[in-house]
Structure 1
């Protein structure tokens, strides 16, 4: 039976490619949905809990204060003085975290001594002592929570990471073109004019530094001498052939394409943030791997649009670069170490909050986040999730959709 269930779940996962609504209906590993009756509400809009003639109203109050419990009790329909009730409430959260709440008398009600932080998702256990008798109630108050079988989560490629310290790399975008540095081109000519007796290379050939390119017989001495390559490169132009006079002209042009320069436009608002040595990530159209470099030079002349050009040397590792190609880049303007961060890809909206989904076993639940600084991949977390928490990164929208399908809400 267990294998059949896993097979069914995996089948459902595959069907997502054809029908999102169908797959969401089978993602949760819980029992079929049952329409639950709305809990009874009291005069303070709290949940009513009853035993014999005793009734307790438990409300979450959050007008002008952080969310807290407030409790009223009646006996046979008549108000009970809060001084007569000894009350304790325990909230058991996902991961067996327990909030222990005690109460003090305030006016005609009992007031909890602990803030009920988000999410308001827990098992509520109430223990009350009134006139020597113990009363106990327990109910589930879940929100933003779902359960997904591990086999389904794997099939849906739900990825996770762990909340921890990160280094944020804040950047500004820049655009430009790549070109060859001035040192990349060598024009080859003869030291002494004469006849080219042997031409050993042709246009398009790769040559190495020190390699013999041609032999020339001097017109004056009638002795042959060799012309060698001053650097590694490609023969990009050929202006002479064997048997021709050198005639004091350029015979070959060699171009070294191992290194290019990206010339990027930086505008006045960012002048102060970009200096020689600033790290840069360059992305070339049609080339998947970003190229890493740093600012080598900043032109002091501004263009008509008031941009300065900054030069970044980038390696032509896979011979994928070409003179004149358009590029875009991220210029790093700040490096910030933060104690807590999450991947931006995992962020989702829940009610009025930005959240990630914490994972405990096969259960997932919202964590409402207070966010700070960010870079292209990470965002700093100021509150709402603990260090070391496993949370969903890839395909977090699947968790969001399954939770929204359940429509679970919480008491207020």
Structure 2
């Protein structure tokens, strides 16, 4: 049955709110079409086309073979030898050119000489010749097609891109948490026991390498000396004060928070996929934007749950030790000649599709899909390079087409 291409009432309402008026084309596109009479079906469940006493039944046959046209001809209701009929069918597709199909006699029918690929949506133009007389028919056979005015599409944020080459980044997920690297924490003690005569820093203070922390008077020489910071960092623990004896104890702890290590668990099925310098994208709890890094170390031993820990070093002072991490470790980078964004994929009948855009018309393209990674998925068939297709909000088209009751008419 012909797709009536009816815009949803929501689409029309948005257009009116944007412009204050409804353009004549928008009204035509969004007004309910007159109900079409159900086309006459023949004994082979094909479409009957008649002119005077001559008639043909045109059917898409796909039982045990790829879809093809088969045609039975009659005159005054009686079967005609198919060899006496010359037939040509042209399928005029939306934005994809025209299929030119010729026919050869086989048994009691005429058989088309090419496969009818999906979608079975086209204007059908038929020319038959019998006993020197030409017969012509033309009708619409649409499915998975709708029309939306550009102003409405813009308002509903129906965005498109051009299908073409892409780089697919295949990843494996990994989870873990942030730790501080070895040497990030330094416990400070006095070289010689003595009395702390002055404390130069406070708890929580940021210090620089070489900055004076304590002045101590040695118990042996009775001479003062200073203790300086060996690294940049923050005073995260303070155990001593002026007037106290050092007594060989830890006086304070300096922690450098400028670098962290994401320790990620990788399980046996993925051991072989992860190598040193493998790129990693990390989403860290409490951190708004994802970070990127690479594998810097793979622990040789495994945990009790058989996970092997993979390290990724990060230089970001805003991170916090103990934060949970969700990461994607890139295990393959593949350049493909044709791909689409996965956000644009929808289901249609038993197919995965995107919606091709030609002018203000949109129509399904049934896809044969290959490798996937990140936002992209490889297209092996069903879509031509250079096709404009819908990415964001493709579900609006799916809903509009399902509402219009487009069928798979043979």
Q: Deviations over 1:144-171 (max 9, x none)?
A: 0001111211221222222222222222
TM superposition shift of 1:6: 9.3
Residue 125 (str. 1) matches residue 125 (str. 2): yes
Matches within 5 A, 1:285-324: 285-317=285-317, 319=318, 321-324=319-322
In structure 2, the partner of 1:272 is: 272
1:147-158 map, 5 Å: 147-158=147-158
Distance across 2 between alignment mates of 1:395 and 1:6: 13
CA contact under 8 A between 1:374 and 1:380: conserved in structure 2? yes
TM superposition score normalised by structure 1: 0.88
* TM superposition shift of 1:97: 1.1
Task: Say if 2:188 and 2:250, in contact at 8 Å, map to a contact too.
Answer: yes
Name the structure 1 match of 2:61.
61
Residue 38 of structure 2 is matched in structure 1 by 38
Distance 2:342 2:388 in 1: 15
Give the equivalent residue in structure 2 for 1:342: 340
Partner of 1:283: 283
> What corresponds to 2:211 in structure 1?
211
Structure 2 segments unaligned to the other structure (5+ residues): 1-9, 19-25
What do residues 97-122 of structure 1 show as CA deviations (whole Å, max 9, x unaligned)? 11111122222222111111000001
**Residues 96 and 367 of structure 1, relative CA distance in 2, 3 Å threshold:** closer
1:326 and 2:327 equivalent?
A: no
Tell which deviates more after alignment, 226-235 or 172-181.
226-235
Q: What is the CA distance between 1:296 and its match in structure 2? A: 1.9
The answer for the alignment partner of 1:94 in structure 2 is: 94
Tell me the matched-pair count: 394
Deviations 1:16-43 (A, max 9, x none): xxxxxxxxxx999443133221100112
Q: Note if 1:10 corresponds to 2:15.
A: yes
Residue aligning to 1:187: 187
Uncovered stretches (5+) of structure 1, i.e. residues with no partner: 14-25
| Cα distance in 2 between the residues matched to 1:11 and 1:288 | 38
Are positions 1:71 and 2:66 aligned together?
Answer: no
1:34–1:375 distance in 2 versus 1, CA, 3 Å: same
Could you say which residue in structure 2 is the equivalent of 1:377? 375
1:286-309 per-residue CA deviation (whole Å, 9 max, x = no partner) reads: 323222222222222222222222
TM-score norm. by structure 2 comes to 0.89
Q: Using the TM superposition, name which of 146-155 and 332-341 deviates more.
A: 332-341
- Shift of residue 402, structure 1, vs aligned partner: 0.3
- 1:261 is displaced (CA, Å) by 1.1
